[in-house]
Amino acid sequence: MIKKDRAKFILNKLNEIYPETPIPLNHSNHFELLISVLLSAQCTDERVNQVTPKLFSLANNPKSMAVIPTIKIQNIIKPCGLSKTKANNISLLSQILVKNHNCQVPSNFKDLENLPGVGHKTASVVMSQGFGYPAFPVDTHIHRLAQRWGLTQGKNVVQTENDLKKLFPENQWNKLHLQFIFYGRGHCTARGCDGTICEICKTCYPLRKKPFKSKKS
């Protein structure tokens, strides 16, 4: 099976398994989404969803968050890990949104990526899930799947993102990003599938006998 055929099969299979792709991070506005995505770094979505109700009950907008003592934010988000750094970033970006963006989350990559703690992946998630802009956020898990499925030989998430965008229709990117995540969690996990077990791996590479070793980003 050539790469183009693998991509077509994967797209059809993921649409079959996951016709609906609810956003896994609970939020009620763009600011809550931005903060939730920031907190999800090296943390599960489930843990983030357990923590954010308490945080957002205190402040769910930049103006309110900007005046909360950083230590108070840190104590609330401690279960998410890296709490000191994340708390500082939440406080600083809130102040910047108040001062420079009229308390609004920017709807463009440049301004988002200039915010403290917001890299390209976080900005891509906000742009796609918050504003509906075509984007294909790639984290280490999507990078791993794309390699297992022969969709990229990229050595980092940037290369992998570019390869995936070339393979799949732009109007499918936002949905595919979530479908990759759901399938990676439910069927093709880092430890549960070595590239020879799940349906997609077996279909794409029926003759693969040895475990596939991904190149870490």
Positions annotated as catalytic residues are: 121, 139
Task: Please give the distance of CA 202 from its chain centroid, rounded to a whole number.
Answer: 26
| Separation of alpha carbons 58 and 97, rounded Å | 17
Rounded to the nearest 10°, the torsion over CA 105, 123, 30, 102 is 0
149: Cα within 13 Å, side-chain hemisphere = 30
| Separation of alpha carbons 205 and 174, rounded Å | 26
Rounded to 5 degrees, φ, ψ at 198 are -70, 165
Q: Which residue in 64, 65, 86 sits closest to 75, CA to CA? A: 86
> 102, exposed or middle or buried, with CB in 10 Å at 0-12, 13-18, 19+?
exposed
Asked if residues 217 and 160 have their Cβ atoms less than 8 Å apart, the reply is yes
